[in-house]
């Protein structure tokens, strides 16, 4: 089974603190990490490989330092890794990112399953996974919480998964190849030891530029190829009123006061 | 990769750009801002620079949709589950109506499903001038490929200027597929939409970076402008059964043999009210102390007719199932009232609930970050306060009072 995992290097948003005075982000010393949802995707790829054999390829698009995210994927146990990095990829929105990643996946050869995290914790769009599937002409199955069954011996191969939707969980079966985006519930990613990282350091990670992607239309790459434009970035308005602390010396009185206030605010 | 360009002569070393940069791409060197390769060209620094020392690299011109001027009208995809329209779609219709009126254009609803004619009538009542109605057994349950195929085909033929979808799980999946296929821009998870009446340009406002920044996104050259919008951002419009609208049946594009997925089963969460739709959510975190502690959270939710939420800590500890998790790694919620009990308020949790209308925080630690976003704070023991709350709620609301109102 050939599996491709798409991963993104992101700033660790859980480490970001907001400056209480200015309301801006305090980014100093915030580490870059592998997008946490992508770790579930890597883990799932590795466990599929354990059952079915085959190869796992990790792909990431980003600046040169994104190579450390790929190192971690190699440390976890993926077989090979490719970095997509080129000045012409800069400023890509989700459309161009999907387009570029799809071109790279095509170049890696035939695949059965593509795995992505459900979204990246910096952009939070969840659009790149389905976008890649459309570019490759395969089915996207989003928010997968469990792979129930994979049949490779049948022709075509089949997969059955559980998806987390708003009202509950959907069991769906589809024909391979598919693209899955996975949620946290799917597994527990393995820890990477120092020796794993050392072993990973010996594996070469090629960097592909736009010139290495056959058939891509350079007008569809990067900022130029991206339909959306960011026109403004601001700190979210702070809540209109500051928190009103209700004294709790008597739980009884506190409860009564709170209920009255909530009713006055029409929240009850 | 390209980065923003900093004019060393103009830079006054004020650090405003360094502080705003979400990607740690700017730093100070010799009292002048310098940019590194982490720059994603997000433009955050451009707006804060007081001396306009920062500029974008030579802006590539966009090819755009060839006949973009001919795109007119606002469309809304009406989501249905088991033959029932989802309220998030009517919220989209309410806002869609306003945008269409400002632009002096018509509002179109797209209803896809099986035996869903009743939804077409509801769509008109909620403001549609026109309804495209695809009714076929292959569309009974949402599947991305057949659904996307119909929307792509309709958009290609009728050319709407704006296409809105609710940011539900299905809506986000469908929108991504349609935008990828059409080659147009899509903004996920908006919390605001405004239109420039003359140009039709849609200002799409969305939180990013775990809710730490608000970005305004435009799609200047490609059409349609697509956005998914979070639940309960826009008011639910009032249905008017007397409205008139045109209902146009359209065929399914694919037959069952051409569709390579099959939905085998659906396990509905019936334990409590579903989180996404709930008007009131009572959530528990580390301070709840264990699975046993969630009993009291459930009881309060029950008295109030609300749903039970949880922080990541509580879910990771195995006190409650993942389906209840609120936050970036779980669900995004926007109830009228969110009661956070024993939740400290990590950034990832805040990202999932900070836009709730009214937030109450109950936490022993008066310095917990949750109090920063709360409207009302009670710095005390939840195991004393919640029982008192239940007692008063039962008294003030009368037997079954609030619960009856919720249903």
Task: Check which CATH number belongs to the domain holding B100 and give it.
Answer: 3.40.50.620
Residue B168, by phi and psi: left (phi above 0), alpha (psi -120 to 50) or beta? Answer: beta
Does B202 lie in the same domain as B234?
yes
Stretch (H or E) spanning B401: helix B401-406
Residues B211 and B120 in one domain: yes
Res B43 pLDDT > 90? no
Averaged pLDDT for residues B114-127: 98
Measured at the CA of B357, the angle between CA B353 and CA B362, to 5 degrees, comes to 65
Q: Do B19 and A185 touch (CB under 8 A)?
A: no
Query: Is residue B17 within 8 Å of B37, Cβ to Cβ?
Result: no
What pLDDT sits at residue A107?
A: 97
Asked if B346 is an interface residue toward chain A (Cβ–Cβ < 8 A), one would say: yes
Q: Which residues contact A227 (CB under 8 A, 6 or more apart)?
A: A93, A95, B62, B183, B184, B185, B186, B219, B221, B222
CATH number reported for the structural domain that contains residue B287 in this entry = 3.40.50.1220
Band of pLDDT at residue B273, cut at 50, 70 and 90: low
Domain boundary residue among B199, B221, B255? B255
Report the range of poorest mean pLDDT among A47-61, B85-99, B383-397: B383-397
Between B382 and A155, residue with greater pLDDT: B382
Least Cα distance to A210 among B39, B63, B222, B1 occurs for B1
Which of A38-47, A52-61, B218-227, B230-239 is least confident? Answer: B230-239
Q: Would you tell me how many other CB atoms lie within 10 Å of the CB of residue B293?
A: 19
- Could you tell me if residue B309 is inside a domain? yes
Question: What percentage of chain B has pLDDT greater than the value 90?
Answer: 69
Same domain, B186 and B221: yes
> Per the domain annotation, does B147 fall within a domain?
yes
Residue predicted with more confidence, B320 or A241: B320
Chain A nearest-CA distance from B272, in A, is: 11
CB A167 within 8 A of CB A148: no
Residue A58 in this model has a pLDDT that exceeds 60: yes
* pLDDT over threshold 70, residue A236: no
Claim to verify: residue B292 and residue B244 sit in the same structural domain: no
Q: Is the CB of B378 inside 8 Å of chain A's CB atoms?
A: yes
Q: Rounded mean pLDDT of chain B?
A: 90
Nearest CA to CA, how far is A57 from chain B (Å)?
Answer: 23
User: Does B101 contact chain A (CB < 8 Å)?
Assistant: no
Q: What does B97-124 look like in DSSP terms, one character per residue?
A: HHHHHHTT--EEEEEEESS-HHHHHHHH
Residues B44, B75 within the same domain: no
pLDDT band at A19 (very low <50, low <70, confident <90, very high): low
Range of the domain at B27: 5-54
Query: Above 60 in pLDDT, residue B288?
Result: yes
Which fold is adopted by the domain A2-225? Answer: Rossmann fold (3.40.50)
A17, A228, A236 member nearest B185 (Cβ): A228
Find, among A67, A59, A89, the residue nearest to A210 by Cα.
A89
B407 pLDDT band, cuts 50/70/90, is: very low
With 70 as the cut, is the pLDDT of residue A239 above it? no
Q: What is the mean pLDDT of chain A?
A: 91
CA B169 – CA B277 distance, rounded (Å): 13
Q: Are residues B159 and B306 in the same domain?
A: no
Q: Nearest CB to B378: which of A173, A254, A263?
A: A254
Give the model's pLDDT for residue A263.
Answer: 93
Say if residue B45 is in the same domain as residue B148. no
- Residue B19 falls within a domain, yes or no? yes
- What six digits make up the tokens of B14? 């004020």
Who's near B251: CB < 8 A, 6+ residues apart?
A: B134, B136
Q: Which among A63, A126, A9, A162 is positioned nearest to B36, based on CA atoms? A: A63
Number of neighbouring beta carbons within 10 Å of residue B391:
15
Q: Give the residue from A139, A133, A121 showing the smallest Cα distance to A184.
A: A121
Adjacent-strand bridge partners of A268: none
Question: Are B30 and B99 members of one domain?
Answer: no
How confident is the model at residue B395, as a pLDDT?
Answer: 86
Which residues are B133's β-sheet partners? B111, B249
d(CA B198, CA A96): 29
Closest Cα in chain A, distance from residue B243 (Å): 31
For residue A126, the chain B residues in CB contact (below 8 A) are: 172, 176, 188
**Looking at residues B209-227, what average pLDDT do you find?**
88
pLDDT value of residue A24 = 59
Residues 6+ apart with CB under 8 A from A163: A141, A142, A143, A144, A145, A169, A170, A171, A172, B169
The answer on pLDDT for B405 being more than 50 is: no
Judged against a pLDDT cut of 80, whether residue B61 lies above it is answered with: no
Q: From the candidates A248, A257, A263, A266, which should be mutated to test the interface with B, based on the most B CB atoms within 10 A? A: A248
Task: Give, for B189, the enclosing helix (H) or strand (E).
Answer: strand B186-190
- pLDDT number for residue B402: 46
Residue A220 exposed, middle or buried by CB count within 10 Å (0-12, 13-18, 19+)? middle
Give the mean pLDDT of B218-245.
Answer: 93
DSSP labels for B46-80?
A: HHH-TT--EE-SSPPPP---TTGGG---EEEEE-E
CA distances from A71 to A117, A121, A182, B165, B290 (A): 18, 20, 21, 38, 37
φ, ψ of residue B353 to 5 degrees: the values are -145, -5
Q: Does residue B370 lie in a domain region?
A: yes
pLDDT reported for residue B146:
97
Single pTM value for the model: 0.85
Q: How confident is the model at residue A23 (pLDDT cuts 50, 70, 90)?
A: low
Could you tell me if residue A222 is left (phi over 0), alpha (psi between -120 and 50 degrees) or otherwise beta? Answer: left
Whether residue B48 is found in the same domain as residue B82: no
What is the rounded average pLDDT of the residues B176-190?
96
Domain at B29, CATH number: 3.30.70.20
Give residue B354's pLDDT: 84
Cβ pair B2:A91 closer than 8 A: yes
Residue B219 has pLDDT above 90, yes or no: yes
Nearest CA in chain B to A87: B1
Is residue B65, in this structure, part of any structural domain at all?
no
Give residue-wise pLDDT tens across range A179-222. Answer: 999 999 999 999 999 999 899 999 999 999 999 999 999 999 99
For a pLDDT cut of 70, what percent of chain A falls above it? 92
Domain count, chain B: 3
**Overall average pLDDT of the B147-167 stretch:** 97
Instruction: Say which of B263, B268, B328 has its CB closest to residue A172.
Output: B263
Q: Is the pLDDT of residue B230 over 60?
A: yes
What pLDDT digit, counting tens, does each position of B342-363 carry? 999 987 798 889 888 999 999 9
**Sign of the CA dihedral B303, B309, B313, B317?**
positive
The residue of chain A with its CA nearest to that of B269 is A168
The residue ranges of every structural domain in chain A are 2-225, 238-268
**pLDDT at residue B404 is higher than 60:** no
Instruction: Give the rounded percent of residues in chain A with a pLDDT score beyond 90.
Output: 76
Could you tell me where the DSSP H helices lie in B243-355? 294-304, 312-316, 347-353
Residue B393 maps to a domain: yes
Task: Check residue B199 and report its DSSP letter.
Answer: T
For testing the chain A interface, which of B35, B168, B170, B180 should be mutated: the one with the most A CBs within 10 Å?
B180
In this prediction, residues B15-38 reach a mean pLDDT of 88
B45 and B79 together in one domain: no
Q: Which residues pair with A172 in a beta bridge?
A: A161, B263
| Beta bridge pairs of residue B378 | B362
One domain for residues B207 and B84: yes
Other C-beta atoms closer than 10 Å to the C-beta of B65 total 19
- What pLDDT shows up at residue B60? 58
Residues A89 and B37: their CA atoms lie apart, in Å, by 12
pLDDT confidence band for B21 (50 / 70 / 90): confident
| Residues B129-138: tens digit of each pLDDT | 999 999 999 9
Region B9-34 average pLDDT: 89
Mean pLDDT across the stretch A29-46?
A: 93
The residues with which B277 forms a beta bridge, in sequence order, are none
B213 vs A: CB within 8 A? yes
Interacting residues of A114 by C-beta distance below 8 A, sequence separation 6+:
A3, A4, A5, A6, A105, A132, A133, A136, A138, A177, A178, A179, A180
């Amino acid at each position: 089974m050939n599996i491709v995992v798409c991963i993104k290097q992101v700033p660790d948003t859980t480490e970001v603190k907001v400056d209480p005075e200015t309301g801006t982000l305090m980014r100093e010393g915030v580490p870059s990490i592998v997008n946490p949802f992508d770790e579930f995707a890597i883990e799932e790829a590795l466990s599929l490989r354990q059952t079915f054999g085959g190869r796992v390829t990790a792909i990431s698009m980003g600046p040169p330092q994104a190579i450390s995210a790929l190192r971690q994927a190699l440390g976890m146990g993926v077989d090979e890794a490719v970095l997509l990095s080129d000045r012409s990829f800069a400023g890509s929105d989700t459309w161009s990112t999907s387009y570029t990643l799809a071109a790279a996946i095509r170049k890696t050869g035939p695949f059965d399953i593509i795995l992505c995290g459900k979204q990246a914790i910096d952009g939070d769009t969840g659009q790149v996974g389905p976008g890649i599937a459309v570019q490759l002409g395969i089915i996207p199955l989003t928010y997968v919480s469990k792979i129930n069954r994979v049949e490779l011996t049948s022709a075509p191969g089949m997969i059955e998964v559980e998806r987390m939707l708003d009202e509950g969980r959907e069991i769906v079966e589809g024909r391979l190849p598919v693209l899955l985006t996975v949620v946290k519930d799917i597994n527990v990613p393995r820890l990477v030891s120092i020796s794993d990282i050392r072993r990973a350091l010996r594996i070469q990670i090629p960097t592909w530029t736009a010139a290495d992607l056959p058939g891509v239309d350079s007008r569809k790459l990067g900022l130029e190829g991206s339909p959306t434009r960011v026109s403004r970035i601001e700190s979210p308005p702070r809540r209109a009123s500051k928190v009103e602390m209700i004294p709790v010396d008597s739980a009884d009185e506190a409860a009564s006061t709170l209920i009255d206030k909530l009713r006055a605010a029409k929240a009850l | 990769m390209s980065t923003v360009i900093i004019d060393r002569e103009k830079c006054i070393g004020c650090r405003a750009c360094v502080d705003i940069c979400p990607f740690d791409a700017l730093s100070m060197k010799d009292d002048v801002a310098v940019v590194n390769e982490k720059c994603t060209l997000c433009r955050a620094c451009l707006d804060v620079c007081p001396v306009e020392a920062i500029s974008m690299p030579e802006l590539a011109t966009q090819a755009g949709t060839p006949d973009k001027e001919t795109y007119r009208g606002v469309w809304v995809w009406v989501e249905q589950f088991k033959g029932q329209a989802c309220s998030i779609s009517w919220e989209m219709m309410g806002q869609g109506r306003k945008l269409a009126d400002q632009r002096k254009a018509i509002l179109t609803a797209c209803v896809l499903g099986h035996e869903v004619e009743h939804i077409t009538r509801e769509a008109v009542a909620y403001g549609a001038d026109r309804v495209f109605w695809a009714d076929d057994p292959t569309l009974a349950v949402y599947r991305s490929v057949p659904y996307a195929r119909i929307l792509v085909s309709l958009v290609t033929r009728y050319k709407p200027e704006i296409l809105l979808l609710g940011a539900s799980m299905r809506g986000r999946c469908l929108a991504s597929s349609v935008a990828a296929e059409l080659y147009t821009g899509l903004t996920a998870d908006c919390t605001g939409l405004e239109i420039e009446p003359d140009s039709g340009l849609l200002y799409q406002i969305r939180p990013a970076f775990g809710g730490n920044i608000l970005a305004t996104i435009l799609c200047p050259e490609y059409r349609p402008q697509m956005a998914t919008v979070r639940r309960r951002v826009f008011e639910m419009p009032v249905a008017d059964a007397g409205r008139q609208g045109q209902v146009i049946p359209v065929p399914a594009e694919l037959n069952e043999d051409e569709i390579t997925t099959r939905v085998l089963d659906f396990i509905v969460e019936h334990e409590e009210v579903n989180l996404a739709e709930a008007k009131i959510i009572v959530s528990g975190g580390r301070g709840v102390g264990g699975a046993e502690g969630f009993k009291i959270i459930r009881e309060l939710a029950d008295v109030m007719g609300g749903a039970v939420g949880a922080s990541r800590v509580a879910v990771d500890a195995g006190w409650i199932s993942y389906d209840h998790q609120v936050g970036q790694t779980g669900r995004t919620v926007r109830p009228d009232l969110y009661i956070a009990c024993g939740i400290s308020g990590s950034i990832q949790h805040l990202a999932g609930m900070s836009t709730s209308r009214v937030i109450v925080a109950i936490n022993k630690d008066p310095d917990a970050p949750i109090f920063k976003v709360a409207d009302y704070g009670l710095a005390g023991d939840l195991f004393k306060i919640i029982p008192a709350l239940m007692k008063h709620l039962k008294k003030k609301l009368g037997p079954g009072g609030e619960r009856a109102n919720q249903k």
